[in-house]
Chain A
Amino acid sequence: MIAVIDYDTGNLRSVANALGRLGAEFMVTDDPAKIRGAERVLLPGVGEASTAMEKLRQRGLVEVIRSLTQPVLGICIGVQLMCRRSEEGNTPCMGIFDAEVKRLGARPVCPCGCMGPVAKRLKVPEMGWNTIAHLRTPLFAGLDEGAYVYYVHSYAPELSRQTIATTLYGMPFSAALGRDNFYGTQFHPEKSGRIGERILKNFLEL
């Protein structure tokens, strides 16, 4: 059984639908006992970091999540909350990953060409499909370097020694982080077509 953590940040439906397409059994819950007892835990969500962090705290879930030993996957705001701190609202986060979450587009023009051939400035939020590289860990088993995944975000975790995939958008950032049983993706595997399905499947098989 997979526990999808419900902390009132929306977008649980798409994750639930994606698990449904994979034929996985799951429950959407904020019950600490059920989360601890699940074989896998997903922390999805969209929204603003300080609000989302507050919602986890109100439900007494911060310590619960930190102490989990089964595979855990944070998605989008989920992975950001697993980092040390977020620039968004200057928010202290759970500190599972040793990385800070930074605002995209701090620099107006990037010389690396990642903004496209003719773009004059970086559009924020980054919305759309971008590539992932430097893939590590079984989360990306069977995927090629340069696979496309779907992003909608204005903030992203910086690179760290726990980076297990990178993406370039104005600056390189952690597309995914991993440490022990904890994983997180800044992109949305539940919306990333076949590639995303493979990543979720890999997570279910970790």
Chain B
Amino acid sequence: MLAKRIIPCLDIKDGATVKGINFLGLQQVGDPVELGKKYAEEGADELVYLDISATLEGRKTFAELVTRIARQINIPFTVGGGISSVEDAGLLLRAGADKITVNSAAVRRPELIDEIAAKYGNQFVVVAIDAKQIDGRWTVTTHGGKRPTERELFAWAREAQERGAGEILFTSMDHDGTKNGYPCETFARLSDLLSIPVVASGGAGSVQDIADVLTMGRADAALAASIFHYGEIPIPRLKKELHTMGIPVRLI
């Protein structure tokens, strides 16, 4: 049976992990490669590295980091942050990334999805969508939820799939950071609408939240950051509890 995936997300700035980490035993605290290896050993099914560097120098460092990650990590990993051209995507593919995520750039210019998918395959393109409810309508936003667009979540997700996305990563900006759980009905509707996998992001505060989005929300994977980084819910415990609930997960 295909397992539901658990995916830690690491924010990277100028080549280092940003979010606070209180793990012991890492050779270099904050080193994205060491942290990724630790998660992989603990049973993470994939990793996502998101570049939040604001400078050109920071971006260069990120590409070098991707090369190091690819050499040392033995599970698939996705990279994202500021990818706005086929060239950007190609650079990261050659550095060894298994998938890339596009977000704002695809909202601005949807053909970007077609172009990357045509050149590197659908499996390589994850379309990340940030949306929030405005007057009862799920509105796609950019710039970390600050800028609403004309687009509607379900129509945009469908379009992204038709243009060649291999996966949709959906974050509800109404739930992100709240630790109150995911909007499961919205996820279920999205999952039923699409024939490609849906990754749930933003809002997990407990094992039950993740269990809910994987069952009621019919998500194929759950991505989270702080609950893992701060050690609130260690991956082995999360997976063991999901397994006990009858949710198919890969146990190490």
Contacts and interface: CB of A to CB of B under 8 A. Distances in A.
A118 interface: yes
Contact of A129 (B5, B72, B122, B166): B5
A50 interface: no
Interface in A123-149: 123-131, 148
Interface stretch (A12-20, A35-43, A64-72): A12-20
A95 interface: no
Interface in B205-252: 215-216, 218, 220-221, 246-248, 250, 252
Contacts of A196: 74
Please classify the interface of chain B as helix (H, G, I), strand (E, B), loop, or mixed, using the class held by over half of its residues. loop
A193 B70 contact: no
Given A117-B246, A129-B45, A14 B70 contact: yes
A169 interface: yes
A115 interface: yes
A64 to B, nearest CB: 26
Nearest to B43: A193
A14 B71 CA distance: 8
Interface of B: 1-5, 40, 45, 70-72, 74-76, 93-94, 96, 98, 120-123, 166-167, 191-192, 194-197, 215-216, 218, 220-221, 246-248, 250, 252
Contact of A127 (B1, B94, B166, B246): B166
B218 A119 contact: yes
A32 interface: no
B104 to A, nearest CB: 24
Interface string A143-164: 0000010111000000000000
30 contacts: A10-B120, A13-B94, A14-B96, A17-B71, A17-B96, A18-B74, A21-B71, A46-B123, A116-B1, A117-B248, A118-B216, A119-B218, A125-B123, A125-B166, A125-B196, A127-B220, A129-B3, A129-B45, A129-B250, A130-B1, A130-B3, A131-B1, A148-B250, A150-B76, A151-B2, A188-B76, A191-B74, A191-B76, A191-B98, A193-B40
A126 B166 CA distance: 10
Contacts of B192: 120
Contacts of A21: 71-72, 74
Contacts of A124: 195-196
Contacts of B246: 117
A120 B189 CA distance: 11
A60 interface: no
Contacts of B194: 123
Contacts of A148: 3, 250
B74 A193 contact: yes
A204 interface: no
B70 A17 contact: yes
B218 A197 contact: no
Interface of A: 10, 13-14, 17-18, 20-21, 46-47, 113-121, 123-131, 148, 150-152, 168-169, 188, 190-194, 196-197
B220 A128 contact: yes
Given A118-B216, A191-B98, A194-B74, 18 more contacts: A14-B70, A17-B70, A17-B96, A21-B72, A46-B123, A115-B2, A117-B247, A120-B191, A120-B192, A123-B195, A123-B220, A127-B167, A129-B5, A130-B1, A152-B76, A192-B75, A193-B40, A193-B252
B121 A129 contact: no
A120 B218 contact: yes
A188 B40 CA distance: 16
A10 B93 contact: yes
Contacts of A152: 76, 123
Contacts of B250: 129, 148
B70 A13 contact: yes
Contact of B45 (A46, A116, A128): A128
Nearest to B74: A193
Contacts of A130: 1-3
A128 B98 contact: no
Nearest to B245: A117
A131 B1 CA distance: 6
Contacts of A121: 195
